[in-house]
Structure formats: structure tokens, C-alpha cells
Structure 1
Amino acid sequence: MNILFYGTKKYDEEFFDAILPEYPELSIHYLEANLSPETAALAAGYEAICAFVNANIGAETVEQLHRQGVKLILMRCAGYNNVDLKKTAEYGIKVARVPGYSPEAVAEHAMALALTANRHTHKAYIKCRENDFSLNGLMGVDLYKKTAGIIGTGKIGMAMARICRGFGMRVLGYDMYPNPNNDIEYVTLDELLAQSDLISLHCPLTEQTHHLINRESIAKMKDGVILVNTSRGGLVNTEELIEGIRKGKFFAVGLDVYEEENDKVYEDLSGTILQSSTMARLLSFPNVMVTSHQGFFTREALEAISRITLENAAAFEKGETLVNEVTK
């Protein structure tokens, strides 16, 4: 089976090429260009395409892929909110994802964001490089004996819960579909917002969770709360988050994802002027830490992503059950 990979970087090629010999039934061609309605025509002659979280796989793109004869969309990530599943179902195109590549990778990054924003280690690094060893502006707060609120208690959320417990924190959880087998104290969303000193988002982006963090939910939070989002940018209403930051509601905010992510999220734009006023405002706050959707970016996670993606492709090629298939 021939597979066209969209939006690939050198690290993608490195990890996929390392295990490709184990799948002789598969052939891969890499494209640096990302998937969009304009580039979907390049999939002519390929049975499958592989895309990442920043691809445009809306209705127009899916229609173009169907015209080119594509039968399978491989998502080399866990999320699939950028895929129009109604259109893929309409055209009989299968969609498979990587649901659990490394929960610890994302959870560890979430805690790294919380610690960095809280203890201002990014600012301290710059100060020390300039021979400024003063402590002005670097005061943080203890996490020990504080309360962590985990919104979304899947594999990543539970990995974050374990980390928080390691810091000596009380851990609360909220999930629309609580897992009774999880060793976590489930509460209502309002209770979690009101009691948590650290709130970490680990739920998928759906119609129900879109702008879960907004003016109303922010008002229910403790003053001086730490908020971390390593899940999806659309969970947070950015304008209302900025409003809360300006009012001093948050002690610190750590964001690995944000609403204005697009196909430029993994590009080097250091020589250009930011076109997003929202991002410029977020970066201007001393208590906000922003990273570029890198929570997944560990060696172990990339190895798992590569293997599970190719296993999904091999299963499809052999006519086996797609255990990681995404349906409506």
C-alpha cells in the first residue's frame, strides 16, 4: 500500500524510516507541504494519506481525497477534531488514529509548564545569562498540600494525577464520563473550579467542551489559580482568558496549545512579524508560559506514534479490524 505523508519534518522521517522495514507491505512518500484542499490533489495514486494535528481535513479536503481514490486517513496523533467525520463516513474513507502513544510525555510537559510559569524559570534563565542574579519577579508558590483539578481523566489526565500526587497534592477530577476504576476523587466541574489551586486540561475538543474555560468558569475559580492547557486550544476562550489575566485572576498560565494554531504552528517564524494580536498579548504577560504544541515531543512518544500508525496501515491493508478506527 502506498501512503502519502503530509506535513512531515526530519524527525518524522527519522522515526518512521527506522521501523518501515518491518512492514514490507507498506510504501511511504514524504511531503513537507501540509494537507489542505489545495494539496489534497497530490494524493492521486495513493491508497492512504497520513496527517498530523495541524492539517486541514475539513469537508473540502475530504472530498478532494475521495476524488483521488484515497481509502484511509492515518492520523499520527490522538486528536481528530480537525477531521470532518461526516464526510469521511459519506465517502467510505476510514480514519485511524494513535490514541495512547505516551500519556506521560504530555502530562510531564503539563507539569513542566505549571512549574515554569509558577517559578518563572524561563525569566530566571534569561536574567542569569545577563549576569542579573537578583530575585525580583521570581517568587512562586508551593504546590505541596495544594489541590490539583484534572479536567479529563483519560490516560493523560491520570498520568497528570499521578504526577500531582507525587508533589503531595490533593487531586480532584472531572470528566463527562467518569471511570469508576480510576483512583481519583470525582467532583462536579463547579466544585473543581472552586477548590483547585492548579487546573490542568486533558479533555478532547468537542461541541460540549468548546470554550469550557470562559468568563463564567474563570469567575468560579480561586483567585491566584494556575491554569495549564496541553490538550486543545479551543477548550479556552482566549479573549476571556486574557481578560482574566489582566484582572489578576491567575497566578500563572501555561499553554502548549491555543486557539489560533494553524498550519504555521510548527514553522520557524522568527524572521517575521506576528500577525496574531492575541498571541502577542499572551506573550506580553510575565506570568504566562507558551510553548508550540510540543507536549508529545519525546523520543518514546515518537517511537510509539510511528509504530501504531504503521500498524493501523498494515491492518487496513490486510483487511483486519482497525482497532484504532475513529467513527462519528
Structure 2
Amino acid sequence: MNNREPYPETCFDSIPDIAMVWYQDHSEGFSLEEAIANNPDTHILITTLMDWSAANLQKLPKLELIITITTGTDYIDKAYCQQHNIKVLNTPGFTGASVAEYAVALMLAAAKRLMDYNHKVRTGDFQIFEHQGIELFGSQVGIIGMGTIGSQVARMLQGFGMNIVYCNRKPKESNLAQPVDLETLLSTSDIIFLTLSLNADSHHLLNHNTFAKVKPGAILISISPDDLIEFSALQEALSSGRLSYAGMDIHHEDSRFLTLPNTVLTPRRAWYTQAAFERRIQIFTQTLGDYMKAQ
């Protein structure tokens, strides 16, 4: 069941002994309720970012496995799955360098005010003095979350001659950047990258209290789930100038984001390259094949 970018319906042809039913529609006509109602005998569900709460999962009483085509699984009620012996598998590592490259692109767009200049030029204004960018060389970058993507970002930013610090949930050695605590990172960094996944500990990690510690005029770049950031706190930080700009690859169709000043917003497409798309298919197909072989 997939309401996003479509996948080739031949990708599981090499896996024997399965009867596949495809529900793929990225238009507003997609109905998860209808897809569930028409497939009550589903044993294996391959899906993406949708409402997989207990209320929907209980309508699939024969379900034994969920394969998400995403890395994150926070939209699935894992407590319900555990209680009902439903295995949940994700699709890790498919993004390669794509997300890190995108995060750096958001940084460049924000730091150099590219969206502002683009808008002005398209309206015939070539005398632009109110939007001044920043020089990246010698600036400090703080990366919150030094996992695979955070490490790739750090490696790319070394080429800009930037001073790189990071904080991580768990102690982690890195020859790419200097470890610091979160408060130090926020108060000293000119550009802050948020590259964490969402869990109970990271929910609203950036809130009114943490934004108050941010270096005035800093830039925020986020390729993390929206719920790591408290919206009202972000709104206040941008409006007050505590943050000078933000570049965000956002999850939700939340119209409030459209009212935010000084932002570059994109529709959760940081991963969306041909190479990552093909890797994703390969990984979730292999995951299903391995599961079937083990049965």
C-alpha cells in the first residue's frame, strides 16, 4: 500500500509463492481505509509513511510482517505489533550520499539567500541590497546526530574550510569533527544541521528552551522528521531573528510552514535520486525474499 512515488509492480516477480495486490496512487484519490477494507487477509504488508496506528492494524488480523520502504518506522504502532507478534522491518541505507548532498544544498540556498535572489530577479528587481549572505569559510557548523548522514555532511563540509562540531545521543569517535554538548553546539554554531531520527527522546528536541540558547542569527538546516522541532518555537525563533534562516525538508502538508519567514522548504525529497530509488527497490525486495526463504 503506497500513496507516494510508484514502484514497478514487477519488482517481486522473482519471489515465489506470494500473491501480490498493489495499491499505488499518489493522488488525493488514494484511500487507505478502502485499501485495508479490500485486503483483510493480508499476511505481509509493504508500505510507507501512512497511518499505521492500532486502529488500522487491527483491521488486518492475519498480518505477520510489515516491511516499510522507509528508514524510519515512527508512524507504525510498534507496541501493537509486539503484542500481536507482527514483525516490523525497515529499509536502511538506501539513501547513500543523496540526503547529505541535499542537506548541504539547503545550507547553500539559505546561507547565500538564493531563494530571495531568485524571487527578486523574476520580478524584475536586479538592485538587491537587503538580502546579504554569509561566507562559509571559517564559519562553525554544528551537527546534531553524527550517524551515517551526519558523518557524510561533515565530510562534505570539510571542503568548505568550516569548523565542524557535533553532538550525538551516544558517545562516538569521529576524525571529522569535534564532540561538544548540545548547549555548546547551539550557542557557538553559525549553522546547525539536524540529522536525527525521531524517537521519544528526540521529540521536540528543538523547543523554546533550546532555541533560546542558539547563537543569534544562526541558520538551521533540518532533514529530520518535523516533530523533532516544536513549531511555535521555530516560528518565534525565525520571527525574532534568533534564527536568520532555515532550510527544511518537511514531512507534513502543514500550511503553517508556508507562513514562516526566511525559509527554504522542500517536500521530503532529500533522498529522491535515481540511484537511491533503485537501491531502495533492491533492499526491500531482498528483505521480502529473505523473509520468505526463512519460512
- Provide TM-score, normalisation by structure 1: 0.82
Offset from partner CA, 1:109-145 (integer Å, 9 cap, x none): 1111121122221232233334332223332001111
Give 2:48's aligned residue.
52
Q: Quick one: which amino acid aligns to residue 98 of structure 1?
A: T
In structure 2, what is the Cα distance between the partners aligned to 1:233 and 1:245?
Answer: 16
Q: Quick one: which amino acid aligns to residue 169 of structure 2?
A: M
Q: Is residue 93 from structure 1 mapped to residue 86 from structure 2 by the alignment?
A: yes
When residues 126 and 246 of structure 1 are mapped into structure 2, their CA distance, relative to the original with a 3 A threshold, is closer
Deviation at 1:303, TM superposition (A): 0.8
Offset from partner CA, 1:158-189 (integer Å, 9 cap, x none): 11111221211111111111323664321111
Give 1:281's aligned residue.
259
Deviation at 1:38, TM superposition (A): 5.9
| Aligned 8 A contact 1:174 1:186 in 2 | yes
Q: Is residue 318 from structure 1 mapped to residue 293 from structure 2 by the alignment?
A: yes
Q: Is residue 247 from structure 1 mapped to residue 223 from structure 2 by the alignment?
A: no
Give 2:210's aligned residue.
217
Q: Is residue 306 from structure 1 mapped to residue 284 from structure 2 by the alignment?
A: no
For the residue of structure 1 that corresponds to 2:221, the secondary structure is strand
Give 1:326's aligned residue.
none
For the residue of structure 1 that corresponds to 2:294, the secondary structure is coil
Give 1:63's aligned residue.
58
Give 2:21's aligned residue.
29
What is the root-mean-square deviation of aligned Cα atoms in Å?
2.1
Q: Quick one: which amino acid aligns to residue 115 of structure 1?
A: L
- Pairing 1:202-241 to 2, within 5 Å after superposition: 202-241=195-234
Higher relative contact order at CA 8 Å, sep ≥6: structure 1 or structure 2?
Answer: 1
For the residue of structure 2 that corresponds to 1:101, the secondary structure is coil
When residues 312 and 254 of structure 1 are mapped into structure 2, their CA distance, relative to the original with a 3 A threshold, is same
Percent of matched pairs sharing the same residue: 27
In structure 2, what is the Cα distance between the partners aligned to 1:27 and 1:137?
Answer: 60
Give 1:13's aligned residue.
7
Q: Structure 1 unaligned runs (5+)?
A: 266-275, 321-328
Deviation at 1:42, TM superposition (A): 3.0
| Aligned 8 A contact 2:164 2:176 in 1 | no
Q: Is residue 117 from structure 1 mapped to residue 110 from structure 2 by the alignment?
A: yes
Deviation at 1:46, TM superposition (A): 3.1
Give 1:155's aligned residue.
148
When residues 185 and 191 of structure 1 are mapped into structure 2, their CA distance, relative to the original with a 3 A threshold, is same
| Aligned 8 A contact 1:153 1:202 in 2 | yes
- Provide TM-score, normalisation by structure 2: 0.91
For the residue of structure 1 that corresponds to 2:97, the secondary structure is helix
In structure 2, what is the Cα distance between the partners aligned to 1:233 and 1:138?
Answer: 27
In structure 2, what is the Cα distance between the partners aligned to 1:198 and 1:8?
Answer: 31
In structure 1, what is the Cα distance between the partners aligned to 2:276 and 2:255?
Answer: 33
In structure 2, what is the Cα distance between the partners aligned to 1:277 and 1:98?
Answer: 29
Deviation at 1:309, TM superposition (A): 0.6
In structure 2, what is the Cα distance between the partners aligned to 1:8 and 1:119?
Answer: 32
Deviation at 1:23, TM superposition (A): 3.8
Give 2:127's aligned residue.
134
In structure 1, what is the Cα distance between the partners aligned to 2:199 and 2:282?
Answer: 27
How many residues are treated as equivalent by the alignment? 291
Q: Structure 2 unaligned runs (5+)?
A: none
Q: Please, which of 266, 269, 279 is the counterpart of residue 294 of structure 1? A: 269
For the residue of structure 2 that corresponds to 1:318, the secondary structure is helix
Q: Please, which of 36, 39, 42 is the counterpart of residue 40 of structure 1? A: 36
| Aligned 8 A contact 2:71 2:92 in 1 | yes
In structure 1, what is the Cα distance between the partners aligned to 2:103 and 2:276?
Answer: 15
| Aligned 8 A contact 1:153 1:178 in 2 | no
Give 2:101's aligned residue.
108
| Aligned 8 A contact 2:155 2:176 in 1 | no
| Aligned 8 A contact 2:142 2:185 in 1 | yes
Deviation at 1:76, TM superposition (A): 0.4
Q: Quick one: which amino acid aligns to residue 117 of structure 1?
A: A
Deviation at 1:83, TM superposition (A): 0.9
